[in-house]
């Protein structure tokens, strides 16, 4: 259903686009005509004014007294003759204009009819659930070519000569798929012949179904849906001749006088036709007996029915031959099931007596050329639709060309105007055109130019033509107030009409060809006025019709042609209905009485009585033939039956209109609908093609409305519709809506039609979570960024923005496809994966103005004033537009797809830059070339960029203090020569194996270094870092404690260190050694260094230092020192006790004896005690076990160990 909605909307849009081209063509061709008519009209007015001056003007004698002017009779006669000539030429031009306008109306009707037929085909497919399908053919299709060739070969020009037709041109071929009808055909065939024997196929022919002269579109669609068996009574007539198909229609058109005259091709339907190609089993066929003999050649061959009872039951068909050509036949197939409709061929017939050159010119500009030229860059779907409408346009263009071929040129018109007698050049000389005085008028009117204005008060008619006149002075108004009955002031500069109120006796007012835009200034009462000419002004408001009605109630003649307002619905209806005495109106094709009768059958208020009548008409099926709702937006109001003109079926039972669940009232003149406030059960409401201006109090807030259609009204605003929570479908096309604020709070709205309004922003649509289809073609949406408001709608799959200014922007379609990820159809064209990939390739990674405006804080700030900007995780591939952020100091570009950052070169104020999680390793240009343009940069993050070498970056950032290179592919620390002020460096998760001796030689002030999760074994590069405060080498391959102490021997300010998950961290005395070597170390491996821990570590290594000075022949007792109670991690420490040194004789050598002395540890034996040989190795601090040793069984606590 959504697909068919979209196709119907697209068809309507394309139909209106082709109508627009026809209107443009008409305006272009009418331009010269308008100019010439204006020249003729002005000349006629000027001659009238001159004749008025000559016959009723005044002059002065030599003594200054007033006297009537004696007219020059010869001059008057010549002027009248010239006026008659010009008047005739003007009338001819006006007739041409009228015919051109009728051509335009006709092409609109033809395009509308074509579009509606196409829409009906779609609806037929939808309603039959796919049982019936109609496929539009393309010129390259084999079956399209076959059908075209079949029709051309069966077109016999000699038969059409009598009707002035010389050629047939195929415009459209449609293939019919109907499974039910085909099944009936196969069943009927199997009941007659043995289908296993292919010989029966010789009796199958492709023939044309003969339709009656009055057959319409309804007959066609019934034939397509149900086949011949359900639409024909008796035998079905088929023929092999195009002439026999068209004969009845051509004959009827000839009798109406619609043929054999130039230009007729656009004014009637006789020159466009269709034929249904059917697969027919003619079987056993016999000639008709007795042979039918038409009374004349004018009688169609198939007009007389066949009496089937006269033939045996085994006869399948009976044929009738054409007199003079027996090969042209009509077969009457007795079993309608044996006629299977398969193709619809639509064609045009070209008149032979029309202007051959014009026809050839139109033919040269064939359908494909027209569509390609008039609608460039159209989608294949649009091209297919437009190709169907193009023949109607070409026919229209041909008729206009023929009409203007014999029209006098502008040069001829100029020569005619220059013919004698010449008019004296007169001008209205005044200081202020808005205050023309009596003297100014007198000088203009008097033949001799006198300014004597004494006669002005007696004037009954005033003619002022082609001057800057805008309004009279109050004194002039008083002079003419009671006498002026005729005012002729065309071709001036009049813009407002308030001065007319002073002329109470005015009967005739001609204000044509001025610059009147609005009638708000028109006087309230001009009761005496009978004729008002306002042609060729600039009036555009429909509401001005009511002003005319209220002000000029006795108007008999009104001229408004040439104003934009006459094209607006409602203007003519209001004027005709409101002016009861009106007899002529120049902007309608009907007579005023006919128009009034039509208008008065269409109500202006939907009252309870009208609602009851509509409900009754729907129940009685009296208006089933009204234009379908889906087609309605293309139909004129005349296409809908007047409610008051329909006849009710009295046999239908009455029902309470207040309980109706659906109501359709299209094409009337409704301005108000009080009855709707009582219809609380309404679910479906259609008020399209009326005159509503707002929703205010239109509907009952209790109604459970699900579908509301109000297209083709005059809505200026959307009132709050939030009370209608159940609303699912809203059709508001072709109104004057500019703002959509009233659409908020509609949780179930899935369909929204707003074509051809004045919408500039679609922000409120972001609040409609169920929205699936949005049609906004022909509005005023200027920026493609408006699509961003639809980005978060989860169900949106169809959007139509065609005809908006935003569609003219570069890459509009790809931009919209990229922003609306779930979209399936845009502007009537399906979105395929290739287009989505292209959109992603183009727009994924580009910084847009929309993105920047969304990310800046506060919103709306000028870009040049922004100091902080976050663009993380935006999929950015290319940096653009950032050169406008001249004050930017902090920029986050992490988690994007950047390979190049040259777009930052003008952001010279940057202090911090985050480029983590990008792809800068793929950059062709070194990063350093950009950094050298950022002199203030202090912080830089290049985490996870695939960097393999720091040197390859060519860094140059003298103020850089923080540098993050975590999670890259770096194997060596180098390239830091130009970052002398570096304070913190992060090299975690790289591929480092060693810190070379001079790798940090140019960064002496480095305070923090993190190299976790590498493969580092060698730390020599740390020796140059005297100010190092924090280091982290967790998860590396450091093995020996001395490697750490040597590397950090100069870093006496170190406060934190981590070597966890290294082999060295499992070594004995690792923690005590590191703590002892760094006096300011406060945390090691994530654990605080407590004061008592440091004290014990230092005491231990003090003991070691003392032991290094003991003579080799002295034994030391260290048992009181080593106790398992507490101590450095991994080392069992005894409570602190004094060191006791004993001689070989057991005497205390140093200090007094200590209580609780245990065994002794052998230090070194002297040579005197052992013959000069050492009895044991020298014991150093590295030889001390980190695990407590078990006490020997022979040693008792407190008992000194026996001397050796």
427 or 470, greater pLDDT = 470
Residues 6+ apart with CB under 8 A from 85: 416, 419
Pairing status of strand 825-826 against strand 1114-1117: unpaired
Radius of gyration of the chain (CA): 50
Specify which of 365-374, 435-444, 611-620, 1185-1194 reaches the highest per-range mean pLDDT: 435-444
Sign, CA torsion 190/193/199/202: negative
pLDDT band of residue 652 (cuts 50, 70, 90) is low
Residues 6 or more apart whose Cβ sits within 8 Å of residue 1189 = none
Task: Decide: 1063 and 1038 in contact? Cβ < 8 Å.
Answer: yes
Q: What is the pLDDT of residue 650?
A: 56
Regarding beta strands 486-488 and 508-510, do their DSSP bridges make them parallel or antiparallel, or are they unpaired?
parallel
What's residue 118's pLDDT? 87
Give the count of alpha carbons within 13 A of 952, CB side only: 14
Helix (H, G, I), strand (E, B) or coil at 657: helix
At 375-422, the pLDDT tens digits run: 888 888 888 888 888 888 888 888 888 888 877 777 777 888 888 887
> Which one of 3.40.50.300, 3.80.10.10, 3.40.190.10, 3.40.640.10 gives the CATH number of domain 849-958?
3.80.10.10
User: Tell me, what's the pLDDT at 1191?
Assistant: 40
137 in helix, strand or coil? coil
Closest CA to 341 of 388, 394, 294, 276: 276
Distance CA 803, CA 544 (A): 29
Domains in the chain: boundaries: 1-127+355-425, 130-353, 438-600, 608-843, 849-958, 1107-1204
Q: Mean pLDDT over residues 847-856, rounded?
A: 84
Sign of CA dihedral 34, 38, 44, 45: positive
Contacts 24+ apart (CB under 8 A), 155-160: 155/242, 155/243, 156/241, 156/242, 156/243, 156/325, 156/328, 159/241, 159/243, 159/328, 160/243, 160/246, 160/250, 160/349
Within this chain, domains 130-353 and 438-600 share the same CATH topology: no
Of 1138 and 121, the structure prediction assigns the larger pLDDT to 121
CB of 885 closer than 8 Å to CB of 869: yes
pLDDT at 463: 86
Compute the mean pLDDT over every residue in the chain, rounded to the nearest whole number.
81
Do you know the residue count of the chain? 1204
User: Residues 16-29: pLDDT tens digits?
Assistant: 999 999 999 998 88
Look at strands 584-585 and 204-209 and give their pairing.
unpaired
CATH code that applies to domain 130-353: 3.90.228.10
pLDDT tens by residue, 141-194: 999 999 999 999 999 888 888 777 878 888 889 999 999 999 999 999 999 888
Q: Could you read off the pLDDT of 4-17 as tens digits, one per residue?
A: 888 888 999 999 99
In 3D space, the residue among 1178, 1203, 1183 whose CA is nearest the CA of residue 1110 turns out to be 1178
Instruction: State the DSSP code for 514.
Output: S
Question: Quick check: 71 pLDDT over 70?
Answer: no
Binned at pLDDT 50, 70 and 90, residue 834 comes out as very high
> What is the dihedral sign for C-alpha 866, 869, 874, 876?
positive
What is the CATH superfamily name and number for domain 608-843?
Ribonuclease Inhibitor (3.80.10.10)
Give the Cα separation of 1011 and 999 in Å (integer): 14
- In the prediction, which pLDDT does 753 show? 94
Q: Tell me the mean pLDDT in the region 33-43.
A: 84
Q: Is the pTM of this model over 0.85?
A: no
pLDDT at 132 over 70: yes
Q: Given CA atoms 306, 309, 315, 316 in this order, what sign does their dihedral have?
A: positive
What was the pLDDT predicted at 451? 62
Whether the predicted pLDDT of 468 surpasses 70: yes
pLDDT of 1135 > 80? The answer is no
Closest CA to 899 of 845, 968, 852, 957: 845
Structure confidence at residue 364 (pLDDT): 42
Give the tens place of pLDDT for each residue, 663-685. 888 888 888 888 888 888 889 99
* 1048 or 353, which is more confident: 1048
Six-digit token string for 114: 């074509």
Residue 989 backbone zone (phi > 0: left; psi -120 to 50: alpha; other: beta) = left
**pLDDT at residue 256, rounded to an integer:** 66
Q: Regarding beta strands 66-68 and 58-60, do their DSSP bridges make them parallel or antiparallel, or are they unpaired?
A: antiparallel
Q: What is the pLDDT of residue 782?
A: 93
Average pLDDT over residues 911-924: 90
Q: Mean per-residue pLDDT for 1044-1067?
A: 93
* 438-600 CATH pick, 3.40.50.2030, 3.80.10.10, 3.20.20.70, 3.40.50.720: 3.80.10.10
Tens-digit pLDDT profile for residues 942-989: 999 999 999 999 999 999 999 999 999 999 999 999 999 999 999 999
pLDDT of residue 881: 87
Q: Give the pLDDT band (50/70/90) at residue 297.
A: low
Summarize pLDDT for 521-569 with one digit per residue, the tens. Answer: 898 889 899 999 999 999 998 889 989 999 999 999 999 988 999 888 7
pLDDT band at 355 (very low <50, low <70, confident <90, very high): very low
> pLDDT digit string (tens) for 481-526?
888 999 999 999 999 999 998 898 999 999 999 999 999 889 888 9
Distance of alpha carbon 315 from the chain centroid: 62
The confidence score (pLDDT) of residue 383 equals 87
Q: Determine the Cα–Cα distance for residues 443 and 456; give it in Å rounded to an integer.
A: 11
Percent of the chain predicted with pLDDT > 90? 34
pLDDT band (50, 70, 90) for residue 199: confident
């Amino acid at each position: 259903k959504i697909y068919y909605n979209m196709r119907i909307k697209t068809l309507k849009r394309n139909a209106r686009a082709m109508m627009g081209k026809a209107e443009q063509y008409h305006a272009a061709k009418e331009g010269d005509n308008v100019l010439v008519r204006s020249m003729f009209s002005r000349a006629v007015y000027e001659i009238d004014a001159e004749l008025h001056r000559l016959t009723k003007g005044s002059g002065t004698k030599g003594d200054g007294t007033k006297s009537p002017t004696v007219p020059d009779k010869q001059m008057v006669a010549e002027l009248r003759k010239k006026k008659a000539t010009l008047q005739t030429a003007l009338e001819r031009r006006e007739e041409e204009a009228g015919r051109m306008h009728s051509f335009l109306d006709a092409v609109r009707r033809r395009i509308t009819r074509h579009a509606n037929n196409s829409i009906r085909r779609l609806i037929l497919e939808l309603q039959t659930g796919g049982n019936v399908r109609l496929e539009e053919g393309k010129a390259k299709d084999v079956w399209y070519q076959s059908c075209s060739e079949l029709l051309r070969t069966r077109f016999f020009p000699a038969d059409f000569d009598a009707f002035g037709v010389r050629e047939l041109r195929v415009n459209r071929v449609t293939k019919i798929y109907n499974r039910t009808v085909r099944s009936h055909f196969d069943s009927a065939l199997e009941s007659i012949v043995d289908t296993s024997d292919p010989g029966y196929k010789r009796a199958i022919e492709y023939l044309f179904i003969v339709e009656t002269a009055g057959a319409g579109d309804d007959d066609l669609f019934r034939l397509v849906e149900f086949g011949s068996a359900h639409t024909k009574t008796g035998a079905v007539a088929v023929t092999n001749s195009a002439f026999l198909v068209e004969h009845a229609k051509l004959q009827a058109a000839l009798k109406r006088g619609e043929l054999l005259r130039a230009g007729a091709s656009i004014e009637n339907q006789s020159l466009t036709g269709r034929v249904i190609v059917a697969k027919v089993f003619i079987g056993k066929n016999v000639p008709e007996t007795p042979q039918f003999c038409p009374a004349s050649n004018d009688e169609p061959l198939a007009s007389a029915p066949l009496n089937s009872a006269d033939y045996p039951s085994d006869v399948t068909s009976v044929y009738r031959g054409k007199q003079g050509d027996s090969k042209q036949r009509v077969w009457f197939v007795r079993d309608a099931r044996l006629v299977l409709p398969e193709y619809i061929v639509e064609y045009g017939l070209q008149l032979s007596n029309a202007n051959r050159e014009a026809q050839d010119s139109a033919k040269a500009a064939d359908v494909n050329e027209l569509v390609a030229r008039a609608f460039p860059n159209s989608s294949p779907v649009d091209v297919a639709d437009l190709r169907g409408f193009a023949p109607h346009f070409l026919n229209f263009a041909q008729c206009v060309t023929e009409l203007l071929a014999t029209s006098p040129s502008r040069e001829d018109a100029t020569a005619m105007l220059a013919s004698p007698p010449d008019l004296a050049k007169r001008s209205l000389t005044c200081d202020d055109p808005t205050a023309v005085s009596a003297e100014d008028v007198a000088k203009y009117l008097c033949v001799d130019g006198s300014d004597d204005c004494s006669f002005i008060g007696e004037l009954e008619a005033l003619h002022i033509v082609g001057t800057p006149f805008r309004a009279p002075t109050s004194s002039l108004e008083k002079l003419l107030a009671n006498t002026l009955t005729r005012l002729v002031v065309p071709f001036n500069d009049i813009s407002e009409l308030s001065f007319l109120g002073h002329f109470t006796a005015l009967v005739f007012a001609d204000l044509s060809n001025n610059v009147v835009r609005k009638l708000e200034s028109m006087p309230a009462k001009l009761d005496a006025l009978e004729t008002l000419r306002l042609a060729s002004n600039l009036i555009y408001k429909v509401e001005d019709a009511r002003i005319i009605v209220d002000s000029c109630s006795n108007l008999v003649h009104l001229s408004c042609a040439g104003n934009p307002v006459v094209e607006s619905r409602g203007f003519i209806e209001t004027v005709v209905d409101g002016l009861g005495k009106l007899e002529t109106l120049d902007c309608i094709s009907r007579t005023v009485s006919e128009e009034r009768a039509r208008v008065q059958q269409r109500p202006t208020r939907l009252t309870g009585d009208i609602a009851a009548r509509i409900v009754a008409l729907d129940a009685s099926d009296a208006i089933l033939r009204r234009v379908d709702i889906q087609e309605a937006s293309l139909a004129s109001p005349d296409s809908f039956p007047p409610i008051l003109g329909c006849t009710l079926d009295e046999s239908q039972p009455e029902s309470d209109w207040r309980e109706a669940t659906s109501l359709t009232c299209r094409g009337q003149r409704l301005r108000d609908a009080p009855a709707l406030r009582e219809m609380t059960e309404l679910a479906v409401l259609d008020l399209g093609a009326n005159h509503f201006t707002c929703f205010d109090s239109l509907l009952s807030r209790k109604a459970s409305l699900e579908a509301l259609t109000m297209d083709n009204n005059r809505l200026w605003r959307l009132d709050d519709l939030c009370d209608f929570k159940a609303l699912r479908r809203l059709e508001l096309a072709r109104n004057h809506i500019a703002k959509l604020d009233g659409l908020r709070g509609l949780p179930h709205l899935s369909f929204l039609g707003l074509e051809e309004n004045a919408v500039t922003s679609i922000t409120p649509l972001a609040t409609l979570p169920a929205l699936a289809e949005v049609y906004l073609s022909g509005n005023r949406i200027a920026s493609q960024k408006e699509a961003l408001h639809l980005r978060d709608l989860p169900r949106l799959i169809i959007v139509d923005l065609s005809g908006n200014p935003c569609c003219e922007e570069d890459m509009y379609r790809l931009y919209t496809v990229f922003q609306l990820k779930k979209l399936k159809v845009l502007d009537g064209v399906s979105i395929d994966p290739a287009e989505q990939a292209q959109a992603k390739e183009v727009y994924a990674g580009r910084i847009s103005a929309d993105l920047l405006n969304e990310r800046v804080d506060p919103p709306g700030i000028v870009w040049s004033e922004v100091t902080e900007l976050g663009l993380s995780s935006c999929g950015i591939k290319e940096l653009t537009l950032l050169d406008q952020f001249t004050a930017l100091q902090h920029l986050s570009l992490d988690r994007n797809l950047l390979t190049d950052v040259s777009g930052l070169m003008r952001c010279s104020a940057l202090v911090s830059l985050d480029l983590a999680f990008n792809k800068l390793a793929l950059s062709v240009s070194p990063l350093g070339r950009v950094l050298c343009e950022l002199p203030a940069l202090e912080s830089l993050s290049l985490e996870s960029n695939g960097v393999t070498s720091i040197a390859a970056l060519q860094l140059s950032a003298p103020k850089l203090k923080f540098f993050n290179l975590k999670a890259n592919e770096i194997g060596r620390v180098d390239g830091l020569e130009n970052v002398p002020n570096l304070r913190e460096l992060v090299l975690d998760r790289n591929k480092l194996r060693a810190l070379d001796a001079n790798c940090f030689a140019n960064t002496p002030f480095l305070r923090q270094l993190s190299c976790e999760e590498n493969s580092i074994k060698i730390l020599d590069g740390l020796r140059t870092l005297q100010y190092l405060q924090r280091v982290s080498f967790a998860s590396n391959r450091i093995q020996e404690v001395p490697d750490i102490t040597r590397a950090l021997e100069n870093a006496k300010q170190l406060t934190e260190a981590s070597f966890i998950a290294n082999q060295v961290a499992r070594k004995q005395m690792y923690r005590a050694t590191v703590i002892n070597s760094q006096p300011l170390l406060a945390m090691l491996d994530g654990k605080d260094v407590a004061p008592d821990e440091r004290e014990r570590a230092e005491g231990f290594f003090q003991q070691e230092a003392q032991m290094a000075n003991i003579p080799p022949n002295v034994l030391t007792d260290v048992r009181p020192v080593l106790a398992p109670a507490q101590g450095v991690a991994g080392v069992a420490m005894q409570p602190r006790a004094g060191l006791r040194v004993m001689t070989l004789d057991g005497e205390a050598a140093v200090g007094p004896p200590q209580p609780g002395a245990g065994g002794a540890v052998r230090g070194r034996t002297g040579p005197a005690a052992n013959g000069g040989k050492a009895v044991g190795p020298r014991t150093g601090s590295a030889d001390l076990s980190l695990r407590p040793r078990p006490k020997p069984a022979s040693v008792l606590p407190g008992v000194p160990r026996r001397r050796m």
